Chain A
Amino acid sequence: MERFAFLTFDGLANGAVYSAFALALVLIWRAARIVNFAQGAMAVAAAYAAYAVTSATGSYWLGFAAALAGGMALGVLVERGVMRFTSHSAPLNQVIVALGLVLTIQAGLGMLYGNEFRPVGTPFSRDAIDVGGVPLLSQYDVFVFAAVLTIVLLLALLFTKTSTGLRMRAAAFAPEVSRLLGVNVGGMLTLGWALAAGAGAVAAMLVIPTELGLHPHAMDLVFVTSFTAAVIGGLDSPPGAVVGGLLLGLVLSYVSGYLGSSVTPIAAFAALLAVLLARPQGLFAASKARQA
């Protein structure tokens, strides 16, 4: 029972990260109808920026800020520099370009920092706090929940309460009509990429210290898991992505805890296949046929 409680909280903490990462995928999917396969690599690049800043200054928080700013800047760069010039004639084109970015970014990081795991520190203790004699969650887990909750709330506020959010939604749903109404559609797209890449960078900062450490491929599995979470949620639905991430975090934590950690990628694959076979429109989306 103790183990179950521990695995539950651990799973929720991981799931919160998947939620944030899946949310970033959903943001770009809604804005541009692109699944950003480069999001994992972009987030790792931001985490390396944090690593460099933290090593130089000794401050975790300066590094965190660098990851956020660097991640957003990379998002702008990718949208303005590459994606904008990709032909929309086939939906595959953008996916292929994103994969080219994955190769380029990961190889670039490998050349700069080498392909070995680098341990990274955390700003709070990762020792679990005992509640009634049962070790439940650590200070770091609390930090993870708080950070993800902040991201989710800020994005929700932005999209539902502000005029910039209204512009972003309008630009995504009806680009031409939005231009006629005075919305700078290109600018909204860039902003969407920046926000998504920023959320992805924070997710990477949160999850990497809990895994083997910093590595050019550190986010590969997180990407797959979060993509699965987004698909569970319906790919179009931000709340669906959040719930999907938490659900998947729980499932994978139990699988890893009771069957062994090497089973996790297999379980993620099986979960994705199961969702695609049983309910391809996602658990939360309205039952509309899926097109891409």
Chain B
Amino acid sequence: MILQLEGLTAGYGAAPVLRDIHLEVPQGSIVTVLGPNGAGKTTLLRTIAGLLKPTTGRILFDGDDLRGVRVEHLVRRGLALVPEGRGVITELTVEENLRLGGLWRKDSAATMSEVYELFEPLARRNKSMGHQLSGGERQMLAIGRALMARPRLLLLDEPSLGLAPKVTAQIMSLLRQLRDNDGLSVLLVEQNARSALSIADAAVAMSLGRLAETSSGDMRAAYLGS
């Protein structure tokens, strides 16, 4: 297991947003958490990424308890979050955004050419400022920047939001490719169940801060009608 959540409870102020979450992401698989706005999906990812301290429960990454590990050290251990709204730094160029993703790595030049191969539009616009990019290009940049760290687990917060279905499909197939070729594990949070389920190995539904007891087969049947 690359990620295990055991009884995770977290929130802002007194009322918990996440209640007693148990979740496992196996090595080399894509797990998706589906749910409506306000279900607590973003809070879940922020808590795993260390931006929010859990009130109770444990987060195990590759078997290690992440309690007390600083946010800025997580990415070096191989855990990368592509945040809500993509988090492209609009005042920096495409290339600077990418460099930032793997500044401490010695092989970052090689990684950058791999990222440019994966996302050709980025290579063409490498000197453009972040604010000049389209929504799809920003999403590519955000994922590409996370890949610069050569993560083992990628946390993705609603990558399909605001993108055309065609672009979303491209991004989903790319995630599948990364899983199949590089063994990348992904925890994907989505409202867009159809596209997420098209690539997920497992799926859980979330509402009001709790994970529902549904098997992913049922959900796939419900959404894709197989």
Contact = CB atoms under 8 A, between A and B. Distances in A.
Interface of A: 163, 166-167, 169-170, 173-174, 176-185
A166 B71 contact: no
A168 to B, nearest CB: 11
Nearest to A185: B72
B5 to A, nearest CB: 19
30 contacts: A166-B92, A166-B96, A166-B99, A166-B100, A166-B103, A167-B103, A169-B91, A170-B92, A170-B96, A173-B89, A173-B90, A173-B92, A177-B83, A177-B87, A177-B89, A178-B89, A179-B71, A179-B72, A180-B51, A180-B74, A180-B80, A180-B83, A181-B100, A181-B145, A181-B149, A182-B76, A182-B104, A183-B100, A183-B103, A184-B72
B199 interface: no
Interface string B73-88: 1111000110100010
A170 B89 contact: yes
A14 B101 CA distance: 42
A163 B51 CA distance: 24
Given A163-B99, A174-B89, A180 B49 contact: yes
Nearest to A172: B91
Contacts of A166: 92, 96, 99-100, 103
A157 to B, nearest CB: 16
Contacts of A173: 89-92
Contact of B100 (A170, A176, A185): A170
Contacts of A170: 89, 92, 96, 100
Interface residues of B, number: 24
A163 B87 contact: no
Contacts, number: 61
B69 to A, nearest CB: 12
A184 B72 CA distance: 6
A179 to B, nearest CB: 5
A176 B81 CA distance: 11
Contacts of B72: 179-180, 182-185
Nearest to A180: B81
A92 to B, nearest CB: 25
Contacts of B104: 182
A285 to B, nearest CB: 13
Nearest to B99: A166
Contacts of B76: 182
A169 B90 CA distance: 11
A163 B101 CA distance: 11
A32 B81 CA distance: 25
A169 B74 CA distance: 21
Contacts of A184: 72
A182 B99 contact: no
A182 B149 contact: yes
Nearest to B80: A180
Of the candidates A167, A170, A179, A180, the one having the most CB atoms from chain B within 10 angstroms of its own CB is A180
Q: Pick the 7 closest A-B CB pairs, nearest first.
A: A177-B87, A182-B75, A179-B71, A173-B91, A174-B89, A179-B72, A163-B103
Interface string B23-38: 0000000000000000
